[in-house]
Homo-oligomer: A and B are copies of this chain.
């Protein structure tokens, strides 16, 4: 039996509340040039006091040496096996979530590139000379105007939305109009991946079935009309579509583990992943204070709260250790508000490390702090990477965290007699 199935079989609801506080990318490195990490350096009296009463350990996000994107990193924390094909979140959906779009479950989303073709319709630049973002926004507005002007006539029973991204990138979002069959994301990329040939038409992917073929037929005219609209543009005179996908429908954490789960995340990507995992999204701003405001308001409505703090990751990506420890100190200062709510189980960790010296996500294990009445209070005195290596929880796969949270909340029955 898989881990998830076993947990689901043993899950038993109760009133106890679990809080998973994700400090995105919190894990960092000690290197020759940076001898101490942000967690080492930060003044965190509240976290220190909590660590002294907690079990520490480390989570391996995906596997040895594997650097996760935010999707797999969070899926693992929510108990999913992040390399399983069923939990793969398509590129189109991820791009849309990253742009802050709320992707409805019925939408098919494509990640698009503006591109350049010559007079014969053959590709000369698959990125339209990497036009600047403002230029991309202008052309997206033009497409949006074309969509509005067409009304119902664009495509067959579909609605189309265009959303600009960075530089030459944008997103097209397709939905079936009420009363028409649902759309199928089983469509092939139109990008031929080389120059000197025409872009491919929108068509069903190899091996896809009849419903994908029908979706292709409904979407293709809309795409062709939008491409035609750009004919007189100098560089972005067409576009390519890739990564057609829908928000994946995963077995929800609520249903699997008999929880009432909520996500409090200021950034859309994390909201999107949480939504795909069946969590209710509680609207909130991106600061930890705003997250706590909403947590206090909604404390009685749920028994599993995923709280997301983005600042640690952003500072890590910028290579800014001082900013990173600043975010950690901010969280520390507000921690008493969280503790005052009296969560039965509190876990603090990251979805991956974002070491400042690397200015990027990394594969390194992430420190974990777990506090409950039945956690093993080990000898770790602070919530740091080095202390966590000798914690009572040990170094475990991130996807094992869900089982620990449930167990510490008394939400798992005994296995066997």
Q: Is the CB of B376 within 8 A of A30?
A: yes
**Which of these, B53, B58, B89, B404, contacts A65 with CB under 8 Å?**
B404
B6 near A66: Cβ-Cβ < 8 Å: yes
| Complex interface: chain B residues within 8 A of A374 (CB) | 29, 31, 355, 357-358, 362
Chain B residue at smallest Cβ distance from A91:
B417
The chain B residue with its CB closest to the CB of A61 is B415
How far does the Cβ of A345 sit from chain B's closest Cβ, in whole Å? 11
CA distance A414 to B353 in the complex (A): 12
A391 to B29 Cα, complex, angstroms: 13
| A347-386 at interface with B (beta carbon < 8 Å) | 355, 357-358, 360-365, 373-379, 385-386
Q: How many copies of this chain does one complex carry?
A: 2
Complex Cα spacing A65 to B408, Å: 8
User: Dominant SS at the A interface?
Assistant: loop
Residues of chain B lying within 8 A (CB to CB) of residue A362? 374, 407
Cβ contacts under 8 Å, A206 to chain B: none
A294–B408 Cα gap in the complex (Å)? Answer: 40
Q: Which single member of B63, B66, B403 contacts A63 (CB below 8 Å)? A: B403
Residues A417 and B65 in contact, CB atoms below 8 Å apart? no
Q: Chain A, interface size: which category? A: 35 or more
Determine whether A205 belongs to the interface, using a CB cutoff of 8 Å to chain B.
Answer: no
Does A396 sit within 8 A of B, measured CB to CB? Answer: yes
- Verify B390–A389 contact, CB threshold 8 A: yes
A32 within 8 A of B: yes
Q: Is A144 close to B, CB under 8 A?
A: no
Contact A417 B69, CB 8 Å, known A1-B83, A389-B392, A394-B395: yes
List the B residue with the shortest CB-CB distance to A10: B66
From A63, A70, A415, name the one whose CB has the most chain B CB atoms within 10 angstroms.
Answer: A415
Q: CB-CB < 8 A to A360: which residues of B?
A: 414
A26 to chain B, nearest CB (A): 14
Contact A68 B389 (CB under 8 A): no
A30 cross-chain contacts in B, Cβ below 8 A: 376-378
**Interface pair A394/B389, CB less than 8 Å apart:** yes
A68 nearest CB neighbor, chain B only? B415
A298 CB within 8 Å of chain B: no
The reply on A400 being an interface residue by CB < 8 A is yes
Bound complex: CA A392 to CA B392 (Å): 15
Other than A69-B416, A71-B417, give 10 A-B pairs with Cβ distance below 8 A.
A6-B83, A31-B373, A58-B394, A63-B400, A63-B403, A94-B417, A355-B374, A378-B389, A385-B392, A394-B395
Q: What are the 6 tightest A-B residue pairs by CB atom distance, in nearest-first order?
A: A65-B403, A65-B407, A64-B400, A69-B416, A72-B416, A394-B395
